[in-house]
Chains A and B, each alone.
Chain A
Amino acid sequence: MSIAASREPIDSVTLGVINNAFVNLCREMGTAMMRTSYSTIFNEGLDFSCVMFNRAGDLIGQAEFCPTMLGSAQYAAKWTIEELGYDAFEPGDVIVHNDPYRGQCHMPEHLFMMPVFCRGQLWGFVANIAHVGEIGGMAPGSFAADGTEVYQEGLRLPPIKLMRRGEYVRDLWKVILTNHRTPKTTWGDYHAMMGSLKVAEARLQELLERYGPEFLSAAADQLLDYSERFMRAEIREIPDGCYEAEDCMEDDGVTDRPYFARLKLTVRGDEVIADWRHSDPQSRGPINATFVVTAAATYSGLLHVISNDIPLNSGCYRPIRLVTKPGTLTNVRHPGASVGGNTETHPRLQNIVLRALAQVIPDRVAAAEGGTACNFLFAGVHPETGEYFTNYHIEGSGWGGTATHDGGNVLCPENGNCRNAPVEVFETKYPFLTRDYRLRPDSGGPGRLRGGLASSRHLVVMAPEITLSALMDRTKTCAWGLFGGGEGMSAHILVKRRGQDTFQRFSEAFGTLSDSKFTRVTLREGDEVLLASAGGGGYGDPLERSRDDVLEDVREGFVSRQAAEQFYRFGE
């Protein structure tokens, strides 16, 4: 028996207070996660999201976390509820779920869900989704960049109880910890996730005590409806029509050809139909997006062009309809590989939404972002501790220029909203020396509003052996500009073996099929790696950029004098 929600309208002030309470509950969860986790990708990268659901699995609270997780969370939650059934949930349970074929983004993303009860009845759920940095599979760090099926990407977990009535389900823990390469880190990160759920449960119980379960359910329902009305009103402001766009992934790590995603975006009245059916057939390599990744990218693109005042919950998504075709780049069919679809293809899809909308609301979109997280994964035995380690490192790229601002410099892709690790943390924890870390001059696409700059990182191996994998994109293609703006500079990853004079591509040095997507390359002490991210596209004609801004760019070293003369006619 469920707790019935009252249909009595609640005043807007009270709704606002409750919405803020939901948001703050999620923020507090995030702080607990950050402060108690073991892995760098958790406590520095912030590659996680904290959310809450009502009893039906609708997202009713979130905060400023990862858009790819936030947009897909409701699908994973609803799947969990439908597969397990309401009767399965008990107080103190924690359910874990990372199956991309059951509504999850990709294998590393683990959903933890805790049911919350009030007066003996299930009221809703608090949950978090986090990128667990090592989950087994064919490559340390679990980014099987040249894998061809989901079974190579790590340990796949359907919705299953990790904790039952507050007690460890030890058999499952043993299976998980046996299959992960760094079980101690998994242990710590899992407990950070569970600890944050307990924080959230306590806060939600306080709200239930203050408002009562029926009133709080009614408030959540009315917030969902309000967000839907808000989103429909925003969509009505976009002229009806059909807007098309495409972009590509440069290769899939297994075959040397581009894969295109194509969107036909139909705006009709107060709803949007995002039709991705005409994307290329799914790739053999792991750049495929699951359905929920495509959905989250579509939601994220549309949320970028509407007012920031909308309460972010499942109601926002109701007017947005998805049409996809299983077996394509934008909806991988089992058992296709998808680990890179969530990190690398997602920003491409989100950018495609903006590119389509550029035709009709040019002042509210951005040029393409660098759009690669430069996923850089390594493992080995630390020479100082003798302990085996793995790490998942990400880089920031340049974001695209907009109608009012230059693109941001060295920001992690918009799908992740994450951070990279500071050099001090990186060097303290892992046997790499950072010889150089800097902005890349001229990497931002020229424009009236310039694309954001990329970064360059020069690393030296300080251990006898490190196993390296990478999954990047935009090394052969560039972030596109808009309305006369130029392209951003491409990314690259290069290696210099000890004793050599020049950097080489990995295909030259190690015979990898792809220069940007490979696994299990063995580096030796003294080898060097140059990791450069991609710049953002420019917006508008570079010749319309203010002279003061060009001068400032040259003074700061963002743009070289040569490029300033070539693209901005600086000095004429």
Chain B
Amino acid sequence: MSDNGLMKTLATYDRRWVYFVLFLVVVIPLLRPIGMPITVSPDTKQYNEAINSFGDGDKVFFTLNTEFSGYNEIQSGIIASMRVFIENHCKICIAVGHPEATGIPELIFQKLEKELEENDYEYGRDYVILGYVMPNEASVASMSQDFHGAVTRDWLGKPLDDTFLADVNTWEDWDLIADFTTGLATGYLLNHFALRGTPMTVNCIGVMIASQKPYVDTGVYLAILQSMRGGAELEYLTGHPGPGLTAMDAFTFGHYMLLIFIIAGNIGHYGYTRKLNGGNR
């Protein structure tokens, strides 16, 4: 192949090559994990310290503002955080902000059966699943001011009177809001809980990090866990490898692949496209 032919190929490669190579670099490490080393970011250390500062009897409002789709990106953070809360004997109330997410608590507890048993967790006394109770801002606002006025039963229709939630009335009664989000009701939780003073942490998908970080900087969030990478780092810190760490090999290769394609595309741009356009753009 001549130099010009190579440059033309680099500048005009078919996008399906990107799809194909990405498929390979994601699937192969998932099927045969390598276990490459990872580093832990300062944000994840801060998050780990924040959630570990809550313990025996503290009431945690565990909110899943995600669909099944987004769950795949943040499931490592969700499961690792839930494990920490269970091992610290917190009281956990799960609420969701999307109809699909009503199926997520079952997926979480399937993976934490051992922890639930070891820590003698009992439904109602130690944890409750509310289901889809955050469809809009009015519902979240209502829960912050008159919890039992907004929610009277759990997701299977059982009354909340005999659960630990009998003592919860307003935003002041929660010790922590642990939010896991692709967007949805997170802004409402910020407005009606966190900005009033309820401590809050967040684990968000990658595209939300830039818009959520300022809340950490201003102290509204105690800490932020960034996407799947943060979840993997939390798994590492807590000593329980899970889906996050398994995905990190593919994560690394995917990033490097993208960088190689960007470099190749730019070489092609300078070697072919620019010359074709007479040196302009």
The finding on whether chains A and B are genuine partners in a shared complex, rather than unrelated, reads no
A interface residues, Cβ below 8 angstroms from B: none
